[in-house]
């Protein structure tokens, strides 16, 4: 340990990473070098900083001895002190903020959470860039994060990013060309799954099952099915056919869903989200 980590734009996802890194279990001797001794949480308004203060006030001492400093409208000083910078900004403010925090010696590592902003765009300001897309379940330690690195990021720095980001859930590495698709699948994915949960709940309610029990059934079916796919390693289609009895209820329901375009609607929705992600990076 020993370096300073600055989180510029410590909003929802920035706070998720802040608390996850701060609360990470005591690191092994080998992994300890990946953890900061200090985190500076930077926001541009007192109201935003107050939200971070409320979060920090409820934290117990860090198992890895990490300290937290909260800064308001002080990005240049905070990033100047930092070795690693996490950018938790909205896409439209990335360019003006990066213009204010120059990286003169090229040694700092920039980890960007901004949707649609490419590694190439970030490389105009920082040589070493890791682009990360995660999702809201990260707030509870069940997130999925997809990472893409610029060519200048060294293996030890990749390991650092993986160690820090994996504290909010599963961390996968993909090429930059897949990041807009990952933004749709991973970043927007929880909303699509929530739509499915909501639909199942309301179906149960419509058929007379109380809301509380409908909710529990929908949640546990989704949870159990995901575990079944993970544990068996089988294709979802193969497992789906195992549930279908000839002439039975399941195949009848699936046929109606196919008629209504459920599967194609999900695919097209994810494709559209990916298209918008790409557009976000092109807007000035």
DSSP for 226-245, please give it. Answer: HHHHHHH---HHHHHHHHPP
Q: Are residues 169 and 225 in the same domain?
A: no
Domain count, the chain: 2
Q: Do 16 and 50 contact (CB within 8 A), yes or no?
A: no
Task: Provide the residue range defining the domain that includes 91.
Answer: 4-175
Q: Do 166 and 111 contact (CB within 8 A), yes or no?
A: no
Place of tokens 């918008």: 276
pLDDT of residue 1: 53
* Inside any domain, residue 181: no
Q: Are residues 52 and 86 in the same domain?
A: yes
* Inside any domain, residue 119: yes
> Distance between CA 71 and CA 141 in Å, rounded?
25
Reading the block at residue 94, the tokens are 């990335």
- Give, for 16, the enclosing helix (H) or strand (E): helix 12-22
pLDDT of residue 106: 81
Q: What is the pTM of this model?
A: 0.89
Q: Cα torsion for 235, 241, 243, 247, to the nearest 10°?
A: 170
Reading the block at residue 142, the tokens are 């069940």
Contacts of 12 (CB under 8 A, 6+ apart): 136, 139
Cβ burial 121-151 (10 Å sphere, 16+ → b, else e):
bbeebbbbbbbbbbbbbbbeeebbbbbbbbe
pLDDT tens-digit profile of 68-80? 999 999 999 999 9
135 is in an annotated binding site: no
pLDDT of residue 102: 72
pLDDT of residue 281: 77
* Inside any domain, residue 34: yes
pLDDT of residue 173: 97
Q: Give the count of alpha carbons within 13 A of 200, CB side only.
A: 17
* The domain boundary residue, chosen from 152, 175, 198: 175
* The domain boundary residue, chosen from 149, 175, 201: 175
Q: Do 149 and 130 contact (CB within 8 A), yes or no?
A: yes
* The domain boundary residue, chosen from 120, 149, 175: 175
Q: Are residues 32 and 152 in the same domain?
A: yes
Low-confidence ranges of the chain (pLDDT < 70): 1, 104, 283-284
Closest CA to 88 of 58, 132, 52: 132
């Amino acid at each position: 340990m020993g370096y300073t980590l600055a989180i510029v734009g410590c909003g929802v996802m920035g706070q998720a990473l802040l608390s996850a890194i701060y609360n990470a279990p005591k690191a092994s001797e080998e992994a300890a070098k990946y953890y900061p001794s200090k985190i500076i949480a930077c926001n541009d308004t007192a109201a935003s900083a107050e939200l971070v203060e409320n979060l920090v006030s409820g934290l117990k001492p860090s198992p890895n001895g990490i300290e937290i400093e909260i800064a308001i409208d002080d990005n240049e000083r905070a990033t100047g002190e930092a070795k690693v910078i996490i950018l938790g900004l909205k896409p439209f403010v990335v360019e003006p903020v990066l213009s204010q925090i120059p990286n003169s010696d090229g040694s700092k590592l920039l980890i960007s959470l901004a949707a649609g902003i490419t590694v190439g765009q970030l490389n105009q300001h920082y040589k070493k860039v890791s682009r990360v897309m995660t999702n809201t379940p990260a707030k509870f330690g069940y997130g999925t994060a997809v990472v893409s690195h610029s060519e200048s990021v060294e293996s030890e720095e990749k390991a650092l990013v993986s160690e820090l980001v994996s504290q909010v859930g599963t961390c996968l590495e993909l090429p930059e060309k897949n990041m807009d698709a990952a933004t749709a699948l991973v970043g927007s994915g929880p909303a699509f799954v929530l739509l499915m949960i909501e639909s199942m709940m309301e179906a149960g309610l419509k058929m007379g099952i109380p809301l509380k029990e409908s909710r529990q059934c929908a949640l546990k079916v989704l949870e159990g099915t995901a575990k079944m796919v993970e544990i068996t390693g089988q294709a979802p289609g193969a497992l789906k056919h195992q549930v279908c009895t000839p002439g039975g209820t399941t195949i009848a329901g699936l046929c109606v869903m196919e008629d209504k375009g459920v599967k194609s609607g999900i695919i097209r929705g994810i494709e559209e989200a990916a298209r918008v992600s790409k557009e976000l990076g092109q807007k000035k």
